[in-house]
Amino acid sequence: MNIFVRELKSNLRSLIVWGVVVVLFVTIGFSKFSAYYGNPEMLAILDSMPPALLEAFSFQAFNLTTVTGFYGVMFTYFALILSIAAAMWGSDIISKEERDKTVEFSLTLPVTRGRVVTAKALAALVNCIALLLITLAASLVSAAPYQPDDEFYQFLGLCTLALIFMQLIFLAIGIFLGCAMKRYKRSSSVAVGLLLGTYFLSVLSGLHKDLEFLKYVTPFKYFDPGMLLREARLDMLYVGLSLAIIVVSLAGAYLTYARRDLYI
């Protein structure tokens, strides 16, 4: 509990910085959305396109003239921002002890290593959830002037759920890297590298049909905003895949940290 509170406190500043970034992002985004909102020119074009085409390109989700479609476009950026924060918090919260030369101290406390990891992971999790709530609140406040319908709230709920999974995946991977990597300095850059790599793969997988298999590799394809809107549910296959990644990473984290050689 002490460790948990201590970690929350020391991460508060970082949480505030990320919170400000997210709020700024949402506010600027929505302030510019007003230019698209109900733009008749764009609506006319969308109406003139055959429904099959719209379906194929999931333009329903990308219909920037409605607040729901706009949120669908923003979703990708939210996913990116929130998962970067999660990956950095996850890897940093473990490896910073070695960087700051405090690891000897914290591990001589009468607490097992497993419990140290648990306390730290929970603190990082609380941070992630706080950031998610900030995102949600900022989105709700910014969307309110556009009289969103039930569909929007339903979509927002689904997207938030999807964002939780994204955060958990990268948080777990980050914690695992922080625990497992011998070179503690590298863990956060490897975590971010992995994140950007998978993001790149997600862009690539949309380019060509032969690369479609990549959608199983990259978490950024697990929860597609277009699909979330059309089917109004999360794909259970990907939920299972996400859970598997999370469980395996966390198990790996506990196992490796328990028998880790410390750099002092």
* Interacting residues toward another protein by CB under 8 A: 14, 28-29, 32, 35-36, 39, 41-42, 45, 64, 73, 77, 84, 88, 92, 96, 99-100, 188-189, 192, 196, 200, 203-204, 207-208, 210-211
Minimum distance between the CB of residue 95 and another protein, rounded to whole angstroms? 9
Q: Give the nearest distance from C-beta 17 to another protein in angstroms.
A: 9
Q: Residue 82 Cβ, how far from another protein at the closest point, in Å? A: 13
Nearest to 223 by CA among 154, 161, 145: 161
CB closer to another protein, 111 vs 201: 201
Q: Shortest distance, CB of residue 87 to another protein, whole angstroms?
A: 10
Nearer to another protein, 36 or 146 (CB): 36
Nearer to another protein, 100 or 261 (CB): 100
Q: DSSP characters for 178-220?
A: HHH-SSGGGHHHHHHHHHHHHHHHHHHHHH-GGGGGGGGT-GG
C-alpha dist (Å) from residue 83 to 18, 110, 111, 191, 231: 11, 33, 30, 10, 24
Q: Are 85 and 169 in contact (CB under 8 A)?
A: no
Q: Cβ closer to another protein: 205 or 242?
A: 205
Q: Give the CA radius of gyration of the chain.
A: 20
- Contact residues for 170 (Cβ-Cβ < 8 A; gap 6+): 83, 84, 86, 87, 90, 191, 195, 219
- Alpha-carbon distances of 262 from 94, 97, 110, 183, 190, rounded to whole Å: 12, 10, 17, 10, 19
- Which of 159, 169, 163 is closest to 226 using CA atoms? 159
Measured from the CB atom, is 4 or 36 closer to another protein?
36
DSSP classification of residue 262? P
Instruction: Report whether 180 contacts 159 (CB < 8 A).
Output: no
Q: Quick one: 41 or 261, whose CB is closer to another protein?
A: 41
142 vs 50: CA distance, rounded Å: 32
Which is nearer to another protein, 39 or 112 (by Cβ)?
39
In the complex, least distance from residue 45 CB atom to another protein, rounded to whole angstroms: 5
Residue 61 one-letter amino acid = A
CB of 243 to another protein, least distance (A): 27
Shortest separation between residue 251's beta carbon and another protein, angstroms? 25
